[in-house]
Amino acid sequence: MEKKERGSFKGSIGFVLAAAGSAVGLGNIWRFPYLAARDGGGLFLVIYLILAVTFGFTLVTTEVVIGRKTKQSPLTAYKHLAPKWKWIGFFSCLVPGIIMPYYCAIGGWVLKYFWAFATMHGAEAAEDGYFTTFITGKYEPVLFMVIFLAFCSTIIYRGVSSGIEKSSRLLMPILFIMVIGVAIFSLTIESTNEAGKVVTGLDGLKVYLIPNFDGVGLKEIFYITMDALGQLFFSLSVAMGILIAYGSYMPDDVNLVKSINQIEFFDTFVAILAGVMIVPAVFVFMGKDGMTTGPSLMFVSLPKVFAQMGDFGVIIGTIFFAMVLFAAITSAMSILEAVVSSFMDAFGMSRKKATIIETIITLVVGVIVCFGYNFFYFEYKLPNGATAQILDILDYLSNNILMPIVSIATCILIGWVLKPKIVIDEATKNGEKFRRKGLYIVMIKFIAPAFLIVLLLISSGVLK
């Protein structure tokens, strides 16, 4: 009965699309292009790809195996592996619990912009001050946040195969088609700059893809590597409990290693294409200096780019924000599922009850996040030097502190306490080949925890 209540994916395709959907989120779209443009273009891409097939593969494999082996959610899986290490499960569940409210707030922003472009108000969305006026509003951000949350909660409420798997099978192919379509269009645009020179999307593609070694020494390569590592770490949804939860729904007869390879490919494919979508378009109309990170890229810079495309820009803007909305939904529902599955396994709740409780918690905290730009506005200086409001503080706590700690502890547990064999045996129990076995052992025991410790020191502001 418990197994039936938890549910499972019907096959490897459902698992891969769901896991890829969790990985393909807002970070791929508004952070990856900025880092690539800033950190030497192709140089950043090469380093990112190397890390994806080494560091990324190691962490994703570990978490998926923990889930499938224990058939438990993040909150209870570590307890089943090693009772003394159950505290990792608590933090692994706390992370998505912290992320979900502010992710829904941002999802509401995406929904607002999609609605603006879909209703032919894209020109207004490109005006100076539009974004600030919207997020500082008292009621509209809450309304869009609630709609976004309701959509995600409905999917999780329906269960694993009927909700997560079905929606992933529908949304992810559409998302991929949209990404490819917008990327191709971005390469075809051109504009004449103030100097009278015609700038094309292909010029922007060169900035994005061709390695730039100007002023790059060992110190610069180190920081580019840390940027790529940080982006990969957040992009792949590790340390959020998501991959453990999804892994627990993976049938035992599915080729685990092959599925993880496919997740790696899809996430990296969309991340790189996000750069092809964004960097050439921004470069054509705003130059390299127009590249910014975070919300300002998506909600300030890109609407201005679409506005300069004329009437056709409204159509492209609508398609773009629809794509971003799909990416946000697939990520948000996986974050919600990590918490819901934990409630189910730890407290014996039904899926419906767990979903309702977590939705209410997310709603309350999400409203507080929205009010952080008006009723509860304040400015707080974070240890890394950034000036923060409520959303930024939650993001810093989850992404910069708790996630690296969870992954470091997981590497120590698997690499040194339980030994890598526990993962290798689970991944090859149906006779599959683990071609990167030697690499996995070295990464989980030595390289991954060392990189993660450095990342924690940098992201927390200790190492500058």
Instruction: Give the pLDDT band of residue 213 (cuts 50, 70, 90).
Output: confident
- Asked if residues 57 and 260 have their Cβ atoms less than 8 Å apart, the reply is yes
| Portion of the chain with pLDDT greater than 70, in percent | 99
Q: How far apart are CA 331 and CA 175, in angstroms?
A: 12
The per-residue pLDDT for range 388-400, each reduced to its tens digit, is: 999 999 999 999 9
What phi, psi does 190 have (nearest 5°)? -150, 160
CB atoms within 10 A of CB 451: 22
**Burial level of 208, CB count in 10 A (0-12/13-18/19+)?**
buried
What are the sequence ranges of the domains in the chain? 2-373
The per-residue pLDDT for range 320-335, each reduced to its tens digit, is: 999 999 999 999 999 9
| Portion of the chain with pLDDT greater than 90, in percent | 76
CB atoms within 10 A of CB 442: 16
Q: Which pLDDT score is estimated for 194?
A: 78
Which of 112-116, 159-163, 285-289, 377-381 has the weakest average pLDDT? 285-289
Residue appearing with tokens 């390569």: 221
Structure-block tokens of residue 105 = 């707030």
Q: How far apart are CA 112 and CA 233, in angstroms?
A: 28
Instruction: Give the pLDDT band of residue 2 (cuts 50, 70, 90).
Output: very low
Nearest to 201 by CA among 90, 316, 324: 316
Instruction: Give the pLDDT band of residue 234 (cuts 50, 70, 90).
Output: confident
The per-residue pLDDT for range 78-124, each reduced to its tens digit, is: 999 999 999 999 999 999 999 999 999 999 999 999 999 999 999 99
| Class for the domain spanning 2-373 | mainly alpha
Instruction: Give the pLDDT band of residue 459 (cuts 50, 70, 90).
Output: confident
Q: Which pLDDT score is estimated for 5?
A: 60
Tell me the mean pLDDT in the region 452-460: 91
* pLDDT reading at 6 higher than 80: no
* pLDDT reading at 288 higher than 80: no
Helices 74-81, 86-118: axis angle to 10 degrees equals 160
Most distant CA pair in the chain, distance? 71
Structure-block tokens of residue 208 = 């994005």
Whole-prediction pTM value?
A: 0.94
Helices 311-347, 351-371: axis angle to 10 degrees equals 130
CA angle at 193 for the pair 188 and 195, rounded to the nearest 5° = 140
Q: How far apart are CA 254 and CA 238, in angstroms?
A: 21
